Amino acid sequence: MPFIPHTEADIASMLASIGAPTIDALFEEIPAVLRSGKLAEVPDGMNEMQVTRLMGERAALDTPLLNFIGAGSYEHHIPAAVWQIATRGEFYTAYTPYQAEASQGTLQVLYEYQTMMTSLTSGAYSTTGKIDAFTTETLRRIESIPGVEAAATTVVLPAVGYGIDLPFNIAGKPPAKGGQYNGDEQYRYVAGHYFQAFRIPLMRGRRFTETDTGNSTPVVIINQNMAKHYWPNQDPIGQVITIGQGLGPQFADPPRQIVGVVGTVKETGVANGDAAVMYIPAAQVPQGMMDLARQLLPLAWVVRGRGDLMALRAAVERQIQTVDATMTVSHVEPMEKVLASTVARQNFNMLLLSIFAAIALLLAAIGIYGVMSYSVEQRTQEIGIRMALGSSRADVLKLMLSQGLKLAGIGVAIGLTLAYLLTRFLASLLFSVKAGDPWTLAAVAAILALAALIATYIPARRAAATDPGQALHCQ
């Protein structure tokens, strides 16, 4: 809770309110034999400045770590309003300490997906080898379940909006002048049939196999975006990269050979573009890296299957707990729901914009109707004269419609021009649609033209039905 300073006057006032002379008097009901008095091993209390100084001295003794997902201790200010809201009881859940994986998702909306989270922070999984043995046996059991097509694990699911990125060097290719690394890209370690589960196509080379263990040649698979960026005119298969060199002993990683190139998916979120990604076999992750990741991120399991999702969920959980009865499974969700949570903010914003756009369209139609009605009323005598001189009702209807649609056409043209110039500000809310998408602009123009036609036709039809005799006498 927040530190609440009490002055001597505050303490005296509170004691007076409850009728106690001193703080010690509050404990007089406790028998003397049960009172321990001053505890020799418990130091005296400190004021706020003393505590701040002590914690700063202890923090200075910690070994610095490379923090790539927000970990670490640092000075920061929390506004009083933020603290007041964030500490309200209704905002706490059973998993409040780390909510990021509530937004896990994938590129595709697939009903047959299930994802779940498990924690591997216990001593039973203190090494990469132990974790690999657990996941390998569990995935084998899961894939034996009827209806399961593929199963895998990963440190971070695609499209969640966050991830791990690490720098790397390319063998035989010096970094740019003044740089230490050739690049810094997304880093994922996976196990099982990860690419098959997500249906990520293999473009060149091979996928990971059961022979890619901790004792085999270190390998890496990259996605097509990374291949095009770093080897635009070369085949990356067979090239060697070293990841995390110089970051610290926990990231010590041997040179890895590129054995495959796979398709690009939205690893860092649907709105963040196509990121370059390095995929590592989970069995070959450096121990220091595994220690850091398993303390900060739960292990994500992905199962592609068919049939009843609830029955599949229960069967998968049974297989996990058959291998380790103490393993806790959480956040079991279809990928459709997981993906929806990653774009919930954008969907809400677009819903609001759609509502405002519909209201604006309605107001525009009402405005056109009002203007045309007023125009018809002002030209009533003109219409009567035209009809008296031989103009038919069809001619009058055509005249009114042409004039109304001409004005509407000018407005639509101006609106489309402004929309094309301003829609780039909405690019962050769009997915798989360009800000200047011609089909979208054409559809909007058609809707506005239809609204203008309807709003113009009603007063134009009324004008065509005007009796010439009455129109001539209209003031």
Asked if residue 429 has pLDDT above 50, the reply is yes
439 belongs to a structural domain? yes
pLDDT at position 293: 79
Answer yes or no: are the C-beta atoms of 159 and 269 closer than 8 Å.
Answer: yes
301 in the same domain as 247: yes
pLDDT at position 244: 87
Answer yes or no: are the C-beta atoms of 340 and 333 closer than 8 Å.
Answer: no
Last residue of a domain, one of 43, 62, 91: 91
Domain that holds residue 149: 101-342
167 in the same domain as 62: no
- Reported as a pLDDT band with limits 50, 70 and 90, residue 100 is very low
Query: pTM here?
Result: 0.58
Asked if residue 117 has pLDDT above 60, the reply is no
pLDDT at position 227: 94
- How many Cβ atoms are within 10 Å of 82's Cβ, its own excluded? 10
Longest dimension (CA), the chain: 120
153 in the same domain as 81: no
361 in the same domain as 309: no
pLDDT at position 221: 95
386 in the same domain as 297: no
- Reported as a pLDDT band with limits 50, 70 and 90, residue 111 is very low
389 belongs to a structural domain? yes
Picking from 150, 117, 132, the residue whose alpha carbon sits closest to that of residue 284 is 132
Q: How many residues does the chain have?
A: 475
* H-type alpha helices, 257-343: 287-296, 309-323, 335-342
Domain count of the fold of the chain: 3
Distance in Å from the first CA to the final CA of the chain: 79
377 in the same domain as 318: no
2 belongs to a structural domain? no
b/e map of 59-76 (b: 16 or more CB within 10 Å)?
eeeeeeeeebeeeeeeee
State both tokens at 455: 């709003």
pLDDT at position 101: 37
Alpha-carbon gap, residue 247 to 367, rounded angstroms: 65
203 belongs to a structural domain? yes
Last residue of a domain, one of 342, 374, 405: 342
Q: Over range 198-211, report the average pLDDT.
A: 92
96 belongs to a structural domain? no
277 in the same domain as 149: yes
80 in the same domain as 129: no
pLDDT at position 305: 84
Which residues partner with 164 through β-bridges?
187
Q: Report which of residues 272 and 14 the model is more confident about.
A: 14
210 in the same domain as 193: yes
pLDDT tens readout for residues 340-353:
777 777 778 878 88
1 belongs to a structural domain? no
Three-state secondary-structure class, residue 76 = coil
317 in the same domain as 169: yes
Residues with Cβ within 8 Å of 433's Cβ and at least 6 positions away in sequence, in order, are 440
Alpha-carbon gap, residue 200 to 221, rounded angstroms: 12
259 in the same domain as 199: yes
pLDDT at position 113: 42
Q: Give the rounded percent of residues in the chain with a pLDDT score beyond 90.
A: 18
Answer yes or no: are the C-beta atoms of 149 and 305 closer than 8 Å.
Answer: yes
Three-state secondary-structure class, residue 55 = helix
Last residue of a domain, one of 311, 342, 373: 342
252 in the same domain as 234: yes
Answer yes or no: are the C-beta atoms of 2 and 86 closer than 8 Å.
Answer: no
pLDDT tens readout for residues 367-402:
877 777 777 777 777 777 777 787 787 887 888 788
207 belongs to a structural domain? yes
